[in-house]
Chain A
Amino acid sequence: MSTPERELTFAEAVREALAEEMRRDPNVFIMGEDVAEAGTPFKVLSGLVEEFGKERVMDTPISEPGFTGMGVGAAITGMRPVIDIMFGDFLTLTMDQIVNQAAKIHYMSGGKMKAPIVFRTTMGATRRSGAQHSQSLQAWVSHVPGLKVVIPSTPYDAKGLLKTAIRDDNPVVFIEDKMIFKMKGPVPAEEYTIPFGVADIKRKGDDITLVATSSMVQIALGAAEKLSQIGISAEVIDPRTTSPLDKQAFIESAKKTSRAIVIDEGYEAYGVTAEIASVIAHGAFYYLDAPVTRMGAMDVPIPFSPALEDLTVPTEETVFQMAKMLCGKT
């Protein structure tokens, strides 16, 4: 008798991964602003302090560099901290600790030290949060050797990848789209993890490849559905981690379809899309029938007004139009 497929929200999947890993390993603890009783403003951590207590779900003062740095110190001395950086925009405050300290400790010490630490943070616009609470800064951290970067798009991926992140011996930046915390999806009750550096094909197709990350996966899937109605078969691939990057998966898909659009919610200039597009342009050069195209956030500070904010990010419609054009349909 098969059990009905269990569904969790993205937030519940994240919380379950944390709870399971905290039960498994007493060295795992959470530290950040309003993580305990408040469970973060997004309520992702609700209930954890009740199970694990305030020693393991630690509320901190509003001191991002301070508690991030303390996490690094705890990580190199035997603990496995999960640091909560409420908004991805606040990564900018923690950059010295993540980039100059955590990312380099293993290398600078000639392999003698390691920093097993997860920096959980968020990304994503269209929440009407203004320019300092809406950015998607995955390119900033993906640029730094020594860091691993995870940007899950579904509850299933979020849970499996977060468990892997906590068990990894390296600093991992784990970026959650704050607009999909309530999105539901199948998550098996049985234990599982997902390896880093393995892209996932979210929809199979033959005519065009849509490489999409995090928030853009649903956009790409929506566009693919619309494309199918006009006879274009789009393949949607989610890298799931930008570092390590599953280069071969994009190359193989583009070789098959001969067209590719790379979609990520970070700023387009110097973005994640640039890196992936370059990988495809190089690896699938002789197979391409159209230039590899990038779609990211418009290169402006994210505006507050909904009338303007919605213009800054790719949508189903803009992706649909771009794909249609690349496939030569007018």
Chain B
Amino acid sequence: MTNKTESVTKRSPERVEGSKPDAMDIEKWLHVYEQMVKIREFEEKANELYLRAIMPGLTHLYSGQEAVAVGVCEALRREDYITSTHRGHGHCLAKGASVDLMFAELLGKEAGYCRGKGGSMHIADPASGNLGANAIVGGSAGIATGAALSAKKRGSDQVAVCFFGEGALGQGILYEVMNMASLWKLPVIYVCENNLYNEYTHYSEALAGEVTARAKAFGIHAETIDGQDVQLVYETTKRLVERARRGEGPAFLECLTYRYYGHHVGDISRTYYRSKEEEQEWRNTRDPLKLLADKLVEGKLTDQSVLDRIQVDVKSEVEKGMQFGIDAPYPAQSEVNQHVYA
């Protein structure tokens, strides 16, 4: 159980900082910041909807991991594919989903991305390349790898990103498809978001050996990076995506990150599996939004007031989106047996 109290620094990788943001790119980094703020605000409101008993069911919040979704998706084109997880709101938003239709889906409304039939864990938006969140841990590994196979067969240069948590490292299908992806040099990137916890269990209790050694055993290029550094995530992904587009095959990227909230919104008493000090330490010292904001302000690339403005604007967008979801009508009862078959 020693790993449970593992300090933040102890589990950090050899820290390779992203290169310094370039003044030329400031618009991009402000956009990245805005995307991360959007996810953070969205999740705050999702939690609020749960606490106010407005939202049916439960949901799994992405707060704390924003740099992974945004860093990865910023390195993708709209037509590139992603598959997502039960903790998927961040991936959806980062790939281009809009908050109002997301809220509508979370609330089971007809205006939602899936007409309210999917819910939080099944948001799909093929228009933005999002092939869907998945409520089976590791369940989308085959789908992402198959999308990469399809891209290759169709002669397109699309790549597919498979997001999954370190919990999915326990699922056999992941290893089956990594084997085939490597054999056939498929343009797929396996992004393992290691947020330390398989639901309510520290990953060290569930995982033998090394994470990246699994991918390396298949001859897949693998890296571990600080998943809180959005610039590093972006630059690394960009390199791996270019490699995949050139036909050089799959890659595996372990992003070290942290889940601020519990496994789901109802997981409030967490001290039996992790300490409040640990949570606070991550929030205080490794917050991805703050890390980027500090970098931009300290590098004099922008003023705090610009970032504050983004905060205000995003908050307003998210609040409007939430209200849209609340006000939107439920699907008609006649919808229940529609879309069973195409």
Contact = CB atoms under 8 A, between A and B. Distances in A.
B118 interface: yes
A109 B122 contact: yes
Given A66-B142, A108-B117, A108-B122, A77 B150 contact: yes
B93 interface: no
Contacts, number: 147
B176 A73 contact: no
B115 A68 contact: no
Interface residues of B, number: 45
A109 B124 contact: yes
A108 B88 CA distance: 15
Could you say which of A55, A106, A107 has the most chain B C-beta atoms within 10 Å of its C-beta?
A: A107
A66 B339 contact: no
Interface in A25-73: 29, 55, 60-61, 63, 65-73
Contacts of B141: 69
A72 B177 CA distance: 13
A259 B173 CA distance: 48
B179 A110 contact: no
B112 interface: yes
A76 B142 contact: no
B173 to A, nearest CB: 5
A65 to B, nearest CB: 5
B154 interface: yes
A74 B180 contact: no
Contacts of B153: 29, 55, 74, 79
Could you say which of B134, B143, B151, B154 has the most chain A C-beta atoms within 10 Å of its C-beta?
A: B143
B340 A106 contact: yes
B142 A97 contact: yes
Contacts of A108: 114, 117-118, 122, 124, 132
Contact of B118 (A70, A78, A109, A116): A109
A110 B177 contact: no
A100 interface: yes
Contact of A65 (B115, B124, B173, B338): B173
Contact of A73 (B124, B147, B179): B147
A111 B176 contact: no
Contacts of B147: 73-74, 76-77
Contacts of B159: none
Interface string A75-113: 111110100000000000000110011000111111111
Given A66-B180, A96-B139, A71 B126 contact: no
A17 B145 CA distance: 28
B176 A63 contact: yes
Measured as residues with beta carbon below 8 angstroms from the partner, the interface class of chain A is 35 or more
B117 A101 contact: no
B116 interface: yes
Contact of A61 (B81, B149, B150, B183): B183
Contacts of B340: 106-107, 145-146
Given A60-B180, A66-B176, A71-B146, A109 B112 contact: no
A169 interface: yes
B183 to A, nearest CB: 7
Given A71-B146, A106-B342, A145-B340, A66 B179 contact: yes
B142 A70 contact: yes
Contact of B172 (A65, A67, A72, A169): A65
A55 B185 CA distance: 13
Interface in B96-135: 112-118, 122, 124-126, 131-132, 134
Given A96-B139, A96-B173, 17 more contacts: A63-B179, A68-B142, A69-B139, A69-B145, A69-B146, A70-B146, A71-B142, A73-B145, A73-B147, A73-B148, A79-B150, A79-B154, A107-B117, A109-B114, A111-B115, A146-B341, A170-B341
Interface of A: 29, 55, 60-61, 63, 65-79, 81, 96-97, 100-101, 105-114, 116, 145-146, 148, 169-170
